[in-house]
Amino acid sequence: MSVSMLSTFVKPMHPEGRRFVAIAAAATLVLFWLWAPLGWIALGLTVWVYYFFRDPPRVTPTRPGVMVSPADGVVSLLEPAVPPAELGLGEAAMTRVSVFMSVFNCHVNRLPAAGRIAHVAYRPGKFLNASLDKASADNERNGLAVDLPDGTRYGVVQIAGLVARRILCWAEEGQELARGERFGLIRFGSRLDIYLPEGATPLVRIGQTMVAGETVIADLTGTQDEG
């Protein structure tokens, strides 16, 4: 097998996954020793855990004035919605783009647009199906309010799902992050909500497949056509 073919299947793994892969691998060895068929099942599970925590490099667009998807997955909601109160984005509705991540997607989260992290807010909650609209209000979540260079502000919210029980966020208040830069991870199935700043035009459709850090989701200048 050539190096290029190998790189297609073998992706870098996020450090957060090392412990889980090590546990799964150890269990695999024990099960192989006890009964080979169980060992093969455990081996498949170990490969899946490695695959879940993959963190492949992404080519983020350099075009100015655009926002990119913060997550791999599918656009599940596109509608006006009032952002979570803890983000301090006001009580007026903003355009919300929701990206649902299944357990088969890469779960590393990336910042949609470069800016300063104005606020980080965690809120405990339920673990409903993340594809449901009410998950935005009821589920465990962690939100970022991000100041853009032009003075406007947008929000991005990590939402836990049925399987996900741990939201990780490495961004800190006052930190400057680039477009497409990693800021967090949600384990085992979840959702990301993006609240677009005033004047931004969404460029996605419900059901569209997203690639974190690459797929353009909105035009910040408001000059591009949604179609």
- Residues 118-157: pLDDT tens digits? 999 999 877 665 566 666 677 889 999 999 999 999 999 9
Taking Cα atoms as reference points, which of 49, 48, 31, 50 lies closest to residue 40?
31
Question: Alpha-carbon distance 108 to 1, whole Å?
Answer: 28
Quick one: tokens of 74? 């599918």
Quick one: tokens of 57? 């490099």
Residue-wise pLDDT tens digits, 104-114: 888 899 999 99
Q: Which residues are catalytic?
A: 190
Fold of 66-219: Glucose Permease (Domain IIA) (2.70.70)
Residue-wise pLDDT tens digits, 62-74: 999 999 999 999 9
Arithmetic mean of pLDDT, 158-181 = 88
Per-domain residue ranges of the chain: 3-52, 66-219
